[in-house]
Amino acid sequence: MRAVQNLTSNNSANTINNTFAGGVVVDSGTVNVRNTIIAGNTNITNPDVSGTFVSQGYNLIGNTTGSTGFSAASNDILNPAGGASLGALANNGGQTDTHALLPGSRAIDKGAAATDPATGLAITTDQRGLTRPSDNTSIPPAPGGNNSDIGAFEVQSLPTAASVSVGGRAVTSSGRGIRNVVIRMTDTNGNVRTATTTSFGYYRFADVAAGETYIITATGKRFTFSQPSRVLNIVEDTEDVNFIANDVNNLFSRSR
């Protein structure tokens, strides 16, 4: 078995048998792993991996307990504080859901060139069909790497001098605008911009660098939101990043 540009996360097992893991178990045979994230899984003993692996380099393993074969000498990132920093499984484009790499993830730009083991051709796109590699110029590549991101998701940091606007509304489930909701937009370098919604629930960020990935979150004093955080790759003017409040909070606010 060979894994290339892969991701295994959010799996679980409930056993104290040391031969099992929440993520990937090698019981027999040879498992070669390259440019792969195995992190964020759960098990009583070995959360992510169990058994003997053959690292071909540039992997991120959340917890190596129960395994052998991974090494920093192979440019593997092992047991990173905070894990892989993955977004929730969501529609980030393409035909299948993916876990986005959040700003600050150790996996960004730390992968290397890889080929499809079935065809022998170079892998030039991520799971969504977007360009790989896409270099984040503020992050140096791993030694011998090519600025690919580790795993199935490539953060699109397209070089561009263009700037765009990002906006939307915070609304109740019935569509009424909510004022004074704090909207935060965080870029891949951890820089945060803040806006506050108007009396009709609108907000807007101007002069946003295009071709970058941002986390946009909404926080309200009397409201919580069904999807309070969004991970978006912004390439053009975007005016529909909306946040819808939970019904229970709507009822509470109307009763006051």
- Beta carbons of 157 and 212 less than 8 angstroms apart: yes
- Model pLDDT for residues 176-234, shown as the tens digit of each residue: 999 999 999 999 888 999 999 999 999 999 999 888 899 999 999 999 999 999 999 88
Say if residue 3's pLDDT is above 90. no
For the chain, which domains are there? 1-156 (no CATH), 163-254 (2.60.40.1120)
Digit-coded pLDDT (tens) for 89-122: 888 888 899 999 999 999 999 999 988 888 889 9
pLDDT at 12 over 80: no
Res 38: pLDDT: 95
Stated length of the chain: 256
Do residues 33 and 76 make contact, with C-beta atoms less than 8 angstroms apart? Answer: no
Look at residue 118 in the predicted model and tell me its pLDDT: 83
First-last CA distance in the chain: 60
Give residue-wise pLDDT tens across range 14-54: 655 555 777 899 888 889 999 999 999 988 888 999 999 99
pLDDT category, 169, cuts 50, 70, 90?
very high
What pLDDT band is residue 251 in, cutting at 50, 70 and 90?
Answer: very low
pLDDT digits (tens, 9 = 90+) for 140-149: 999 999 999 9
